[in-house]
Structure 1
Amino acid sequence: MDINNRIASRVRELRDAQGFSLDTLAERSGVSRSTISLIERGQSSPTATVLDKLATALAVTLASLFEDSATPAAVSSPMARAAEQPVWTDPTSGYVRRNLSPAARSPIQLVEVRFPPGQQVAYDTSARDAEIHQQVWMIEGVMEMTVGEVHWRLETGDCLTMRLDCPIVFRNPTRESARYLVALVTVPLPQTRRNG
């Protein structure tokens, strides 16, 4: 399945599951109704920033938007062959993300990212209806990350952990590509905290 069609199907599925209209998702995400409509029809190549806004509004990880919604989790294979792993390129920065995790639902999601030299991506991440923890492990190269107000420089072998509840900026300040692994875990919030 074409990656834009996969994203289209997944966004539509998640929106329906939440019972959100296009207008509701637009209001919650800050992404225009027309843009969401184009994405859901597979007629748009959304940027990483737009996808993150939709993921936040839908209370899922960005990686979840690349899952294959056609295969029920109950019959999904616990194996994800390299040739079957969805690969997506951000049309603005050119960064390439590969979802490594199998379609079988797991609380852990793994993503490999290749980040071009001199590029930056900013996520306006805010609190969600689930607690999402992320670790970034540098495989090669250098990345600078700003998590909320705190700035970090990651070099090969370094690993940074964070909660996805504040703005995050990824930047490759060098002339060489960087490659890193992202591991995500989602923990549902207690019902009282969600409603409070």
Structure 2
Amino acid sequence: MDVNNTIARRIRDLRGAKGWSLGTLAERSAVSRSNISLIERGESSPTAVVLDRLATALGVSVASLFDRDATPSEDELSPHSSVSNQLLWTDPASGYVRRNLSPPARSPIQLVAVEFPAGQHVSFETGVRDAEIYQQVWVMDGAMEITVGDRSWRLETGDCLAMKLDCPISFRNLSSRSTRYLVALCNLSFDKSWSKQ
């Protein structure tokens, strides 16, 4: 399935589960109604910043917007994720490439691998969410600067940074080569009823 169609279905399902109109999601996310409509029809490739605004408004992580099905059947809840089935997505604004590593089996933990191009910058306006989500970033190769709220860290290969997704976060690759890093997310508000295997 095309990644834009996966994102489209997931946002439609999450919005529908809350009983929100397009206008309500637009108001809560500061993303225009027309842009959300295009995204939900799979006719627009949203940027990472737009996805973060929508995820924050919907009370989920950005990684969960790449889940293939919002309500998978028990047969689809495999604990295995083969590399050929892992969704790849490229941010049209920065060119960063993210791969969702986690299997479809519901878990409070999600893993995402990212390749962040040299000289690029992405800022998320992440705010307080309904869900309590924590994230750790482990740099596998390269270096980058991460700012969480008003505090910045320079991470080199092997460094790890933990944060709660409740304030603005920015990622900068100030080096002359791509940086690869792993993101581990934990949703403490996880619905355990979906974790049956």
Taking structure 1 as the reference length, the TM-score comes to 0.94
Structure 2 counterparts to residues 12-161 of structure 1, below 5 A: 12-69=12-69, 72=72, 74-75=74-75, 76-161=77-162
For residues 153-174 of structure 1, the C-alpha deviation after alignment (integer angstroms, 9 at most, x for no partner) is: 0000000000000000000001
Gaps of 5+ in 2: 191-197
Gaps of 5+ in 1: 190-196
Measure the CA separation in 2 of the matches of 1:59 and 1:30.
14
Measure the CA separation in 2 of the matches of 1:70 and 1:2.
16
For residues 145-193 of structure 1, the C-alpha deviation after alignment (integer angstroms, 9 at most, x for no partner) is: 000000000000000000000000000001110000000001129xxxx
Measure the CA separation in 2 of the matches of 1:82 and 1:73.
21
* Contact map agreement 1:73 1:105 (CA 8 A) in 2: no
Partner of 2:189: 188
Instruction: Give the root-mean-square deviation of aligned CA atoms.
Output: 1.2
Secondary structure of the corresponding residue to residue 188 of structure 1: coil
* Contact map agreement 1:73 1:103 (CA 8 A) in 2: no
Measure the CA separation in 1 of the matches of 2:101 and 2:143.
21
Change (3 A) 1:66 1:79: same
Task: State the identity %.
Answer: 66
Q: Which amino acid aligns with 2:60?
A: V
Taking structure 2 as the reference length, the TM-score comes to 0.94
Change (3 A) 1:70 1:133: closer
* Contact map agreement 2:13 2:70 (CA 8 A) in 1: no
Deviation at 1:70, TM superposition (A): 6.7
* Contact map agreement 2:118 2:178 (CA 8 A) in 1: yes
Secondary structure of the corresponding residue to residue 16 of structure 1: helix
Q: Which consecutive aligned stretches of 4+ in structure 1 deviate over 4 angstroms post-superposition? A: none
* Contact map agreement 1:53 1:124 (CA 8 A) in 2: yes
Deviation at 1:64, TM superposition (A): 0.4
Partner of 2:5: 5
* Contact map agreement 1:39 1:45 (CA 8 A) in 2: yes
* Contact map agreement 1:87 1:96 (CA 8 A) in 2: yes
Measure the CA separation in 1 of the matches of 2:157 and 2:74.
37
Measure the CA separation in 2 of the matches of 1:68 and 1:13.
11
Give the number of equivalent residue pairs: 189
